[in-house]
């Protein structure tokens, strides 16, 4: 499902100046906990904006998310990372570095479901920006 939604996002988003979503995964093989995972995530992150998924983050509607993505694009920010932390969440220092923290709500979701939901919201966002009937609000 992730590949399907990211493929749709890429196809629709390219014409809008958005697209080329990809999943990058890091693994703390040494067991250093959240600080070690944060160091690996920082190393894997391209330059640009950092948005983190966190249960304490802002809850947005899909149209608000679409407009936030468009605002990043319009500000000339070429790369953006949407980061999902490990089982214990993201290191507080890394969360503090984020440009924005988003939440899917008060419930906590397994990582793979969160990835699918985020990939779908990326596709939904470009569909909204493109005026596609996919989003029926």
* In-domain check, residue 107: yes
Is the pLDDT assigned to residue 135 strictly greater than 90?
Answer: no
Q: How far is CA 32 from CA 26, 29, 40, in A?
A: 13, 8, 11
**Is there a contact between 24 and 57 (Cβ–Cβ < 8 Å)?**
no
* In-domain check, residue 15: yes
* In-domain check, residue 90: yes
Q: How far is CA 5 from CA 73, 119, 122, in A?
A: 20, 6, 8
* In-domain check, residue 137: no
pLDDT, position 118: 96
State mean pLDDT over 114-120: 95
* In-domain check, residue 135: no
Q: Which domain holds residue 18?
A: 2-130
Question: Where do the DSSP E strands lie in 1-137?
Answer: 49-59, 80-84, 100-103
* pLDDT tens-place string over residues 1-49: 999 999 999 999 999 999 788 888 888 778 788 888 899 999 988 888 9
> Among residues 5, 6, 114, 112, which one has the least CA distance to residue 53?
114
Cβ contacts of residue 124 below 8 Å, gap of 6+? 62, 65, 66, 134, 135
CATH classification of the domain holding 95: 3.40.1280.10
Q: Cα–Cα distance between 8 and 127 in angstroms, integer?
A: 9
Number of domains in the chain: 1
């Amino acid at each position: 499902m992730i590949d399907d939604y990211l493929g749709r996002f890429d196809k629709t988003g390219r014409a809008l100046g958005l697209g080329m979503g990809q999943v990058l995964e890091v693994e703390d093989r040494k067991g250093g906990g959240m600080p070690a995972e944060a160091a690996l995530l920082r190393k894997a992150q391209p330059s640009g904006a950092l948005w983190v998924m966190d249960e304490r983050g802002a809850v947005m509607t899909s149209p608000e998310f679409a407009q936030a993505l468009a605002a990043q694009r319009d500000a000339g920010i070429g790369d953006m990372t949407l980061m999902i932390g490990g089982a214990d969440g993201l290191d507080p220092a890394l969360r503090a570095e984020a440009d924005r923290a988003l939440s899917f709500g008060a419930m906590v979701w397994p990582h793979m479901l969160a990835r699918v939901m985020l990939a779908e919201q990326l596709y939904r966002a470009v569909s909204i920006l493109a005026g596609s009937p996919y989003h029926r609000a």
